[in-house]
Structure 1
Amino acid sequence: MDILNITTITALLLLLRTIELKHFFERISLSQILSGTILAFTPALLLLFLISFNLNPDAVSYFSTVYLDFLSTNIDYNVIAFLLLLSLNSLLFCKFSNVTVLTLSTLISMGILYSSSRRAFIILALLIPASFLLRFIFGQRKGIAVAFGIILSSILTIGVVFYALAFPIKNNKVATATVQPLLRPLSLFLIPEDFNKLHYKIIFQIENHKKYNTDDVTFSRSVGELALAPRQSRIESAKKIIRAFKPTHHLFGHSFHLRTFGIAHDTKLDYPHNFLISTYLSTGLLGLFLNIFVFVLAFLGFWKERNKWGWEPTMAFSITILFSLTSGFSQWSFLPLALYLTIGLVAFFKSPPPASLTK
Structure 2
Amino acid sequence: MQSRVVPLEEGEEVTPINRTNQSKLSTLRPIRVLVLFLVLCIAFSIVSIHTIRYFGINSVVTTAKSSTFRPCYEEPRSLEQWITPPSNLMHNMTDTELLWRASLVPRIKKYPFQRVRKIAFMFLTKGPLPLAPIWERFLKGHEGFYSIYVHSLPSFQANFPPSSVFYRRQIPSQISEWGRMNMCDAERRLLANALLDISNEWFILLSESCIPVYNFSVIYRYVMNSTYSYMGAFDDHGPYGRGRYNRNMAPEVYINQWRKGSQWFEVNRNLAISIVEDTIFYPKFEQFCRPSCYVDEHYFPTMLTIQAGNQLANRSITWVDWSRGGAHPATFGRLDITEEFFKRILEGHNCTYNNGFSSICFLFARKFAPSTLQPLLQVLPKLLAF
TM-score (norm 2): 0.25
Structure ranking higher in strand proportion = 2
TM-score (norm 1): 0.26
